A and B are shown apart, each in its own frame.
Chain A
Amino acid sequence: MLNFIIRRIAVAIPTLIILLIASFWLMQTAPGGPFTSERPLPAQVLANIEAKYGLDQPVYKQLWDYVVGILTQFDFGPSYKYKDRSVNDIIAQGFPVTLTYGVISFLVAIIVGGALGISAAIRQNSWLDYFAVGVTIGAQVLPNFVMAPILILVFTLWLGWLPGGGWNGGQWQHIIMPVIALSTSYMASIARLMRSSMLEVLRSNFIRTARAKGLPERTIIWRHALKPSLLPVVSYLGPAFVGMVTGSFIIDAIFGTGGIGYFYVNAAFNRDYAVMMGLTILLGSMTILFNMVVDILYAWIDPKIRL
C-alpha cells in the first residue's frame, strides 16, 4: 500500500510538470494578452506593466521563475486582472466555498443515488423500479443551468423560503439550492450505475450459492452483493468528486456563491495567466489524488487487486 502511494506520487510529479508546461505554452501562444484591450495602451505604459509582471522576459525564463516561485515559496504569483490580489488569495477565498458545497453535493449524490439504485435493483420491474428509472432519466436530461433558475423561481420567488443567491459565510439556507442543482445529475448517474451493476451481481453464481445456503435476502444484498456491485460506481466516483469540488461556473454564476469555478472561467476570458495556471495545477493535483483514492478503494473491494 505504502509502496503503491509512493509509486503514484513519483508518477504524479512528471504528470504535473507536463500539465504545467503544456498549459503555460498554450496560453502564451494564444494571441493577445492580459493587457490588450480595444483601446491599446500607450507603448510606454504597456512596457512598464509588462516589466512589472515579468512579461518582457523570454518565455522559458518566465516559466522557470514561475516554477521556482511555486516550489520555494508556494507562491502562484499575482493576478493580472484583480489588482493587489495574488492567486493564493483567490484560491484561499474561493476554494473553501467550492469545497463546502462540492463535498455536500458529493455525499448527497452518493447516498440518494446509491439508495435509489439499490432499491430499484432489488425490486426490479416494480413501480419503485420504474419510478427510479424515470427520475434518473429526467434528472440526467435536465441541465443544471435550467434547473438552477427553476429552483430560484420556485423557492425564492414563489415560496420565499430560501435566499436566491450569495454565500453569506456558508449559512445552510445558501447551500441548499447550489447543492441540489449540482448533485442531481451526478445522483442520477450513480443511481443508474448502481442499479445495473447490482442487477448483474444478483444474477451471478456466488449469489446463487448464497441463496442455496439459506441466507435471508437482506444478508445476501448487504454482505454478499453490495461490495462487488460498487466497483463500476467507484470508478465513476473519482472523476465525479473532482468535478464537484473543483467548482462549477454555472453554479457560481447563477447563485453568486463566489467559488473558484467563476474565477476559473473569467481568468480564461481575461487572459489572467497566473490565476488560470494556479487553478489548473490545483485541479490537476486533485484529479491525480482522487484517481489514487479510487485505486485504493478498488483494492479494498476486490481482494484480487494487489497494490
Chain B
Amino acid sequence: MIVDRINRATRRVPAWPIYIVAVAIAGFQFYQGLTGALGPEPINALEREYGELALKLLIAGLVITPLRTFTGVNLIKYRRAIGLSAFFFATAHLAVWAFLDVRAWSRVIEEIIKRPYVTIGMAAFVLLIPLAVTSNKASIRAMGANWRKLHKLTYPAVLLGGIHYVWLVKGWPAEPFIYLAVIIALLAVRFKPFRFQRARA
C-alpha cells in the first residue's frame, strides 16, 4: 500500500531540515531583493513573498489532520516544524513591512489601528505568538489537554490571514480568493456535523 510506504518513509525522514529550508528560502529571497531579481519594487515583492509563504505553510499545517483521517497518511511529526516555519515567515513579513516599508513606529501603530486589513493581519500574528511559544515538548507536557485547546487558535489565525490577503487586493485576482477558499474548506471539514456524516458513510 502506498499509504504504508509513505508512513514507513516518514520514520526515516526527520523534520529538522524543514527549518533549514525555510531559513534558506527567506535568505535567498532577501538576496534576490538586493540584486534586483524581485523586480524594480523589491520591498513590496518581498513583503508579499514572505506573507504568501506564511499562508501556504499555515495551510499545509491544516492539511495534516484531514490527510490522516481521509487517507491514513500520517505526517504529524512534521507539523511543529511546518507551524514554526509559518510563524517565521509571518514574522519576516511583518518585519519587512515595519522596517523596510513603513519605517516609523508612529506610522506602524497608526496603520495597525486605522487600516482594517493591517489590523486583521496583526491580529493573526498575535494569535500565532502563544502557539509558537508553546510549541515545545515541555509545554505540551505541562499544559496537558489545555495545549490542544490553545492550539485551536490556529484556526482563527489562518482565517484572519486569508481575509487579510483578500482585503488588500484591487479587483478580482484569483490567488487570494483561492487561498481563502482552501482555508475555509480546511476549517469546514473540522466541524462536527461534517465529521459525523463522514463516519456513517
Say if A and B assemble together: no
Residues on B lying within 8 angstroms of A by beta carbon are: none
Residues on A lying within 8 angstroms of B by beta carbon are: none
